[in-house]
Structure 1
């Protein structure tokens, strides 16, 4: 194999083989960090000049050259050579081509270790804000759908069996809460991304009189990181993004599963717009919920990326190890997967309608009013456990006689030793079940309206920040 010259070859008597360089490089995927890397480099050289570590003239030359390099990369005028390993070395190499000797001062008081930590932090800070914006869009859609279909009543499920009646608005607001927590987690991550890694150098700081607070201010951080050794070694923020993305995708996967089931002929609860479905190559009648299925499937990618990084980190020694190069592809893939999924999920939800007639037919099955009858007995001073048994026997009687609660008359209630004298069970309609379930956080129309109003306030605050 042909040998290749390395960029850091001063200490070495032998250069890498091409296949080794190919295995070692990250430029094929970390090149997307170029803008953030250049942003960090500009802040760095301004600080070096301020501290009189380099002259103002050299600083100006480097800043001019970095702007040229940035435009060249944007215009695809820079060759990404695997010999240069990563985007940081590509930028320094191209800078030196543009400004000559001045470019050799760029790496003063800096290591690729802290530079990489900075590039990833700047990139991740932008990525988190962008993910939050996508989630805000989805939260907006959920609020709108909850309002539009708040009057519709559907079965609520436990163990995929009819449990209690709920409104469609209540159902949508349930998913709002899970996604709201996803937003809150991402906002918490932003706090930890508000610390400046630059100046940690290789692992122990530098003997040169740098000012980390100056670069902190230039790049909009609140403070420098506290310990250089930890700064260079830590991939906590990336792991946290991957966890947040995996959990968010898990929420969306469960939501997608419900859409898939509700769309089936067996349920037919919803109609999905044709533009979010596909057909079959052999069966002309098919309308498949492919977008929901893909959202469900792509959760596996996000979960896998989290496991990838945690596995990489679990046995590494302080401080830097080449293993850490494996953080980037997992991160980039999860960002791409999450943002695309959240966006298309919002568009799909905008084009889903719950079929009210079908819902009403399903509400007649499964004795869905049973809990309300038990609670009615509790209001008449019957211990809940006794009330539970009484209604259980009532359900069994209805099953044996092929009746619903609405079919039961006064004589049958007496025969069943129903402990409260009433004419029939007609008061226990699904509509009344909804109206009466007015505990805080419940499915009553009034409480769902309150939940929607709170959701609107939450989203309005987010929009003012992002």
Structure 2
């Protein structure tokens, strides 16, 4: 059963049919297509194209069809070209010729654009909950390590002491931005294409604004040609998921480092680690590695859709059939990755003694010396040079900064005095950082409270009916 073909005397060829069919992946839009059909039936009745009795029968049949789809009693077949074809077949089976009236005033072009927007808007909220869960697990761990010293790094070299809670919250911040991007994306996506028809609107007295309101959109499309050709919302959604994938990958990379023998900062729970088929001693951070690997898949989906769109003339082109699988795959991928990462983070054990011992290694308190000299009135350029000479002195003799004698301090620079030792502890370095957004325990506690408020707001957006 095709939705076209009246002007054709034969065909389609089997090769064309195999290439054209999309029902094996767009069937997941069925519930949304039926919701759009119910809204469209109501405006057809308002336009006098369905009688009240016909509308009642139509809506009842669509409800039955929705229930059959959900239960699996009605399924698409290989002979159905797409989800729209399959559902019209189901409606005709229930209503006979009356089912054919529903197609008036709409096209698969505006249907599929509407269905996909509805689907992605729903699933964006589910995705947001998964992101919030991961951010929540990181935040809970951070709350346990507000004052735990750790060796902050640049270039994967020890740089300055930080608190491990601050480090964990540094992974929460990009997740909060991902949540914000989803909300911002949803605002632009809440536009209904239904009523645009194939590209030119309809000569029938329909009401696109009513349809938009019934389906939960904020407005109907301003331009019928743009309505059916726009896939910005898919590309933008895939950008959000790709960037989220990058953020998960960076977190995964850090967990791989933290759990290595060389670092030894974190121990993963047995339930969220794997072993080796040949080396009995191994405990591998496979979840972190898979999160890192899946980022390439998410980035690839974005590139595929952007490449598909870049040369398309207005309005609808069949190339657009390629918009759905990358979007579905991104959601499916993240549906697997996010809960696994969340469980891994929530159950990991942080080895606080190892972190604290590593915090001052590598002359990470050198900046404290430079700041000490600045507070004495030394220009930072000179303070940096003096501190560099102090580090070189210690490195040549195998000393730590606080182990340099008074005479040697003065020999390195007259500006250095024994009072500098007051700043040469990790605790003092952390306590000194009180400005908003810094790594000191007080600032981290404030950041923690702000993060918890933002996560509560994100969850409220994702579950508006609760």
Residue of structure 2 aligned with 1:244, choices 222, 240, 245 = 240
8 Å Cα contact 1:6/1:16 also seen in 2: no
TM-score of the aligned structures, taking structure 1 as reference length? 0.97
Q: Matched residues in 2 for 1:421 and 1:270: separation?
A: 39
How many residues are treated as equivalent by the alignment?
Answer: 462
Residue of structure 2 aligned with 1:152, choices 140, 148, 154 = 148
Determine if the alignment matches structure 1 residue 71 to structure 2 residue 67: yes
Deviation at 1:66, TM superposition (A): 1.2
Q: 1:117 to 1:161 in 2, by over 3 A?
A: same
Q: Matched residues in 2 for 1:70 and 1:427: separation?
A: 69
Deviation at 1:418, TM superposition (A): 4.2
What secondary structure sits across from 2:146 in the alignment?
A: coil
Q: Deviations over 1:189-211 (max 9, x none)?
A: 11012111110100010111101
> Which residue pairs with 2:4 in the alignment?
8
Deviation at 1:77, TM superposition (A): 2.8
8 Å Cα contact 1:21/1:82 also seen in 2: no
Deviation at 1:439, TM superposition (A): 1.9
Q: Deviations over 1:410-438 (max 9, x none)?
A: 11101212414325625310111100012
8 Å Cα contact 1:22/1:82 also seen in 2: no
Residue of structure 2 aligned with 1:37, choices 21, 33, 36 = 33
> Which residue pairs with 1:92 in the alignment?
88
Deviation at 1:79, TM superposition (A): 4.3
Determine if the alignment matches structure 1 residue 115 to structure 2 residue 149: no
1:33-432 equivalences in 2 (<5 Å)? 33-422=29-418, 425-432=421-428
Deviation at 1:18, TM superposition (A): 2.3
Q: Deviations over 1:182-234 (max 9, x none)?
A: 00000001101211111010001011110111112211221111001011001
- Of stretches 339-348 and 201-210 in structure 1, the one that deviates more from structure 2 is 339-348
Q: Matched residues in 1 for 2:79 and 2:4: separation?
A: 10
> Which residue pairs with 1:444 in the alignment?
440
8 Å Cα contact 2:363/2:400 also seen in 1: yes
8 Å Cα contact 2:65/2:91 also seen in 1: yes
Q: Which runs of 5+ in 1 are unaligned?
A: none
8 Å Cα contact 1:409/1:424 also seen in 2: no
Name segments (4+ residues, structure 1) moved above 4 Å. Answer: none
Q: Which runs of 5+ in 2 are unaligned?
A: none
Deviation at 1:464, TM superposition (A): 3.0
- Of stretches 364-373 and 182-191 in structure 1, the one that deviates more from structure 2 is 364-373
What secondary structure sits across from 1:82 in the alignment?
A: coil
8 Å Cα contact 1:413/1:424 also seen in 2: no
TM-score of the aligned structures, taking structure 2 as reference length? 0.97
> Which residue pairs with 2:13 in the alignment?
17
Q: Matched residues in 2 for 1:138 and 1:365: separation?
A: 31
